[in-house]
Amino acid sequence: MKTRKLVSSLKYALLPAALFGAFGSALAQAPAASPTLTADEKAQAKKIYFERCAGCHGVLRKGATGKNLEPHWSKKLPDGSTQEGGTLKLGQNRLEKIIAYGTEGGMVNFDDILSKQELELMAKYIMNTPDVPPEYSFKDTMDSWKVIVPVKDRPTKQMNKYNLKNMFSVTLRDTGEVALIDGDTKDIRSIVKTGYAVHISRLSKSGRYVYVIGRDGRLSLIDLWMEKPAVVAELKIGFDARSVDTSKFKGFEDKYAIAGSYWPPQYVIMDGDTLKPLKVVSTRGMTVDGEYHPEPRVASIVSSEIKPEWVVNIKETGQILLVDYSDIKNLKTTTIESAKFLHDGGWDASKRYFLVAANASNKVAVVDTKLGKLAALIDTKKLPHPGRGANFVHPQFGPVWATGHLGADVVTLISTASDNPKFAKYKSHNWKVVQEMKHVPGNLFVKTHPKSKHFWADAPQNPEKVLAESVVVWDMADLSKPKKVINVAKDSGLPETKATRRAVHPEYSADGKEVWISLWGGKTDQSAIVVYDDATLAVKKVITDPKMITPTGKFNVYNTQHDIY
């Protein structure tokens, strides 16, 4: 029986066609044995690759979360053989099967996304040497900058009557939009045009502005104080991006913003209220193994509240940067060695320590932002994927931070007792894995809330349809086994389909009484957000507006503003 994997489009990036056209890319010469593609075929393959593959395998195909896809291992030898010095040469047929059906190592399936012709095309494309995209300069960044509503013309107070603390910024992935949904009434208050496949929404320290970054590098600034919240400024920071945050240290509230790019590998510092670019900084350099890497992508960024610093995680190099924004002209950066390849992460409950997954190394790195150094490097099961993680007080081990896994059937709990005298009796467990809660592979996000007695985890990348459409809930009083497995697709009341509607990204309301789950179908399928009562685990509301297409990440304003997870 063929192995089937769910497509996780949360991990893939879209680059515009102009990336390889008008900007004049340098086309590398492929070896003679590479399959020939017409200009139209190459253009089509490039688009598919950047929509579906680049996020994991890299623009240059050198690999990260996904395997290296350079042609030196992918194509057969001229004589038709498939081995050279112990290196596997896959060839056309084998590549098609891998792309179509995935692998047990974490490669997802595309047979329900791509046609047979497209599968054949992508196998041929991968056996050709990748093109090198153009750079994106400070001038390019500045030329893209748009202020739609000047600061002087914006409200001086909140002009609507919405409870902004309980507003949700919801990614509508495939339409390139964000829906702002009222958490009290469950009504959509505004749908704003943003970049393609928004990865995250982040809040300014004041809670007034929402910053959303599309995978096409488009950064949008949304003003929640307007009568109908709308985009007031835009900036394109590159061709492919994932991360954004703001300045939160006292005296710098809302002053600056920072956004990280996948291609080119760099980050941009800008004014917080207008997005005017101030500085572009390259992240190219040496890996923790001492080798130069041409594509070290900015994976995630968080903002410290104990120093005027951002924690900037560089995926391919395994380097964590502490960027001091107190003097932008004379930028000071502390470089901390951890492990490859850095991905997502979040704060512990004290907001002093930042924990980030080095998922290809199966480790979690811990940064002490007060001392500015690595506190621990913790071994975990395969492919940790925390999102921001989840913090709670364990009945046996005290304060812990949790991460799920793409490639393992557990949720890992790590002790974060640190030096807090309140938890002195748990200090012997500090920075150790204290428990592995039984789950299923394919988890993307875990979540709890300080006022909740429950812990939630999804599994949208599990190959079993029923598991991908479900979430698992544990009772904090007994974490030895799940309290309930909830079939979100069934609870939605939507007609059953052969296609998988993935249950993804649990998010709490501001008061911790509700949990919102996205039910993510295809672009032409009816999607939904299913809202649960956290105390009873019963369905409270199913949000199914025709305009709400492919909802994925949801970010409650108050919880995101205060890093509550």
Provide the annotated active-site residues. Answer: 53, 56-57, 107, 343, 385
The answer to whether the beta carbons of residues 308 and 325 sit under 8 Å apart is: yes
DSSP secondary structure string, 199-259?
Answer: -EEEE-TTS-EEEEE-TTSEEEEEETTSSS-EEEEEEE--SEEEEEEE--STT-TTTEEEE
Among candidate residues 517, 529, 515, 520, the one with its CA nearest the CA of residue 559 = 515
The answer to whether the beta carbons of residues 209 and 223 sit under 8 Å apart is: yes
CB < 8 Å & 24+ apart, contacts of 148-156:
148/230, 148/231, 148/232, 148/233, 148/234, 149/223, 149/226, 149/230, 149/232, 149/233, 151/273, 151/274, 154/223, 154/225, 154/226, 154/232, 155/223, 155/225, 155/226, 155/227
Reduce the DSSP state of residue 357 to 3 states and report it.
Answer: strand
Q: Which amino acid is at 21?
A: G
Q: How far apart are CA 551 and CA 523, in angstroms?
A: 10
Residue 376 CA to its chain's centroid (Å): 23
What is the token pair recorded at 228? 């109908």
Q: How far apart are CA 434 and CA 415, in angstroms?
A: 6
Q: How far apart are CA 506 and CA 513, in angstroms?
A: 13
Report in angstroms the alpha-carbon separations of 136 from 140, 233, 293: 6, 20, 18
The answer to whether the beta carbons of residues 199 and 243 sit under 8 Å apart is: yes
Q: How many CA atoms lie within 13 A of 224 on its CB side?
A: 28
End-to-end C-alpha distance for the chain, whole angstroms: 39
